[in-house]
Structure 1
Amino acid sequence: MSGHRDQWFGARTYAQHGDDLAILNIFHRLGVDKPSYLDVGAYHPFDLSNTALLYERGSRGINVEPNEAQLAAFIKARPDDVNLCVGAAPVCGRMMFHHTASDPGRFTFDVATAATLGIVRGVELPVLTLNAIVDHHTGGVWPDLLSIDVEGMDVDVLQAADFGATGPRIVIVEANCGGGDTSADLSALMTAKGYVLHSWAGHNMIFVRAADEARIWGE
């Protein structure tokens, strides 16, 4: 479907709640045509993806997906991205990646979350902090968008991140993966890091850097 001629971003959405369209609209308001991205817990190159539509529109970025089988799809479908088979964690090292009885999108490094989903097996994998990924692959300059969905560890991983002077302009993060509502913790954490809650998309919170949020509203 090509959509109506007046649909700015087309008629297609890949994200679970139309998150990609919301993100594109914010970047449009900020004058960013092809935002770069870091997609952590990327899951699939198209299914339920917050960044697939951006890729189709010419954006490029980094996909972090610890499930080797899922990452293979990224390598095939999105070869111009950097595709990493590692996990994200508060500190670099190795952690047990729990495969659960649910779909691969719910596999997790978080033991408590995995226990509620039924652990099938575990595989020890390397994990990196967000800063380690950014330092190595983008020279320490954060991409425009950070999309993070790490099944129960989102608050801890973000807490450990130092955004410095070049933090992502937009951060989208899941506030409820089935293991409990973390929206209050995320709001407090992101406010302390200089972000404003712009909107919700389903279970996902969309934060915008405070200076950019002021620009959007002409303040």
Structure 2
Amino acid sequence: MTGHPHQWFGGRTYAQHGDDLAVLNIFHRLGIAKPSYLDVGAYHPFDLSNTALLYERGSRGINVEPNEAHHALFLKARPDDINLCVGVAPMNGRLAFHHVAADPGRFTFDVATATTLGIVKSVEAPVLTLNEIVAHHAGGAWPDLLSIDIEGLDIDVLRSAEFGGGPPRVVVVEADNGSGSNAAELGALMAVKGFTLHSWCGSNMIFVRAADQALVWGD
């Protein structure tokens, strides 16, 4: 089953909720054929990935994954990307990275989330801010897509981000990791940062720049 030739973005999705197809559609509306990306809490190069399909279609970007075993998979499967084995937090330094009894995709630096899931062990790991990653690994320019899924710290990390005059065109962020929805707070924060809600994909909210709204919706 390879899909119909008239499926613009192919017949395959790697994302948990088809987020990658929604994102490709938005960038098609924006006239960006190969959007760059910053995938924070990237987890796996293909499984439940919001950026694997973009990579497959010629896009390149930065994957941030503090789990050493999963980071090694990125080095092997997506060698043309920049693959960082660090965490992301509101401030740089070192934090306890909690391995939990759930799927490795739920490993987190957020102790409250980790405690709820059942901490198996904690290891100290380096963390950077979003702005440091952009400054040092993206030439100071925000990639077209920011995808963030870091199990409990998403809002704090986004709040600390300084987008300046050239923010991402699209932001995908998990609004409900099973511990309760933070959609209202997230929506308010992104509005202050100049974004509007485009749509939901499962538990993820997809935001676009408010300045791009007319292009995306064709108004």
> Normalising to structure 2: TM-score of the pair?
0.99
- Aligned residue for 1:117? 117
1:63 and 2:63 are equivalent in the alignment:
yes
Alpha-carbon separation, structure 2, partners of 1:216 and 1:120: 44
Residue 26 of structure 1 and its aligned partner are, at CA, apart by 0.2
1:176 and 2:149 are equivalent in the alignment:
no
Alpha-carbon separation, structure 1, partners of 2:216 and 2:107: 36
Which amino acid is the alignment partner of residue 140 of structure 1? G
Alpha-carbon separation, structure 1, partners of 2:10 and 2:215: 25
Residue 213 of structure 1 and its aligned partner are, at CA, apart by 1.6
Which amino acid is the alignment partner of residue 211 of structure 1? A
Residue 215 of structure 1 and its aligned partner are, at CA, apart by 1.6
Residue 191 of structure 1 and its aligned partner are, at CA, apart by 0.2
- Aligned residue for 1:185? 185
- Aligned residue for 1:82? 82
User: What are the ranges of 5 or more consecutive residues in structure 2 without an aligned counterpart?
Assistant: none
Counterparts of residues 1-219 of structure 1 (less than 5 Å):
1-219=1-219
Alpha-carbon separation, structure 1, partners of 2:12 and 2:141: 30
Identity in percent? 74
Which amino acid is the alignment partner of residue 213 of structure 1? Q
Q: Give a deviation string over 1:66-104, Cα, whole Å, max 9, x none.
A: 000011110000000000000000011110000000110
Aligned residues: 219
Residue 180 of structure 1 and its aligned partner are, at CA, apart by 1.6
Alpha-carbon separation, structure 2, partners of 1:216 and 1:117: 38
Give the stretch that moved more between structures: 178-187 or 127-136: 178-187
Residue 33 of structure 1 and its aligned partner are, at CA, apart by 0.1
RMSD: 0.7
> Normalising to structure 1: TM-score of the pair?
0.99
Alpha-carbon separation, structure 2, partners of 1:208 and 1:216: 8
Does the residue aligned with 2:108 lie in a helix, a strand or coil? Answer: coil
Which amino acid is the alignment partner of residue 177 of structure 1? N
Does the residue aligned with 1:123 lie in a helix, a strand or coil? Answer: strand
Residue 218 of structure 1 and its aligned partner are, at CA, apart by 3.2
Alpha-carbon separation, structure 2, partners of 1:5 and 1:94: 48
Does the residue aligned with 1:75 lie in a helix, a strand or coil? Answer: helix
Which amino acid is the alignment partner of residue 73 of structure 2? A
